[in-house]
Structure 1
């Protein structure tokens, strides 16, 4: 997978893709992330890529031409399945969107908003999907773009050491992940639940499902309701946590 990120402050993205899982994905040639400086596409001698908004109001707006020209240049090299704009008024990003993008896309462009956003006309002309990472506003779309790229890339087969790991993440089955434990067996008077030491895989899976259901019900009742709607066969309440 190749992800091209367009930003007017590209140095903000130096670190996220230079470490850990994303760096390993790049080293294995499983993904490529390229960051493009929007200022290289300035359209006047002053180097401006933004201007005042029509109709007055505070804040600057990114101009249409620099964005359009950058995207058109990228499209000359390859076909893109999605041109995504990171914006607070986009659809809220979730695991299902990450799954879809990871499976269905080979090349993606992510445009980072800045200031008061971008000229609406370029949104109408070239953007195929608008995404938000939550109901809050950042200084720009760079951190949000890094979040989306990370969530997509880690799902590519071969990126994680254990390919089944991503399948047991929170949200993959509509539930939050169950609690996990490691050595030592006893820590500050607390012990690992006996069931996890039993070796009975089916019983361990049942316990984990119960814990996921209970945790989701307690912490994310909105997700719990969606889970019940999608799984009408779940008639009983999740069991209480076993200590």
Structure 2
């Protein structure tokens, strides 16, 4: 094997599996249930393939010079074939990672919300919330219940991409969210008003995203969870109409 080939050498399947088993054992020692750990590792694996697919798909991959038109045409066809194949691998990896992925016959299926889905959403929404306001002592003690109602509006596939969706929502509506948290959040003149208690919780970012995206489904899940209607009404009022 040449030096160049050694430099390009990839991890073999046995070494990758060994690393995965080692990580599972370490997480188990930390008290993470094996099913949750497997799911999280599955998402990391699926994400790595998806990012590779995006990078390869961005191209362009120039045809080697001096090879002629037939070679160039074959080169492009081969590049497309490899990219398509990588996309299929990424899709299969995501299907394996999603515990209850909807089938082609039921794309809108909304299975029960899992623990790792709730935890992943907490990890995604908390820094977004703190980019708009400070932590509040009034944070309602029903975070998991609120998030289960939020995630209950989505399919497993949508939940798998929800961190990205939240980030996009916060970026698109940054000015509007800054105004909302300034007027109704911690430190505002109505900071102790119970109607706006949820504005004092990081979950408010996720609830607002659902109010803007799937209000009917959110109200359905909210009622089923028997969460305080005033919290949802308060956020709806605070969200109001977009600025002119």
The answer to whether TM tops 0.5 is no
Give the shorter-chain TM-score range. under 0.3
Query: Quick check: which one's helix share is greater?
Result: 2
Query: Quick check: which one's strand share is greater?
Result: 1
After TM superposition, the score normalised by the length of structure 1 is: 0.27
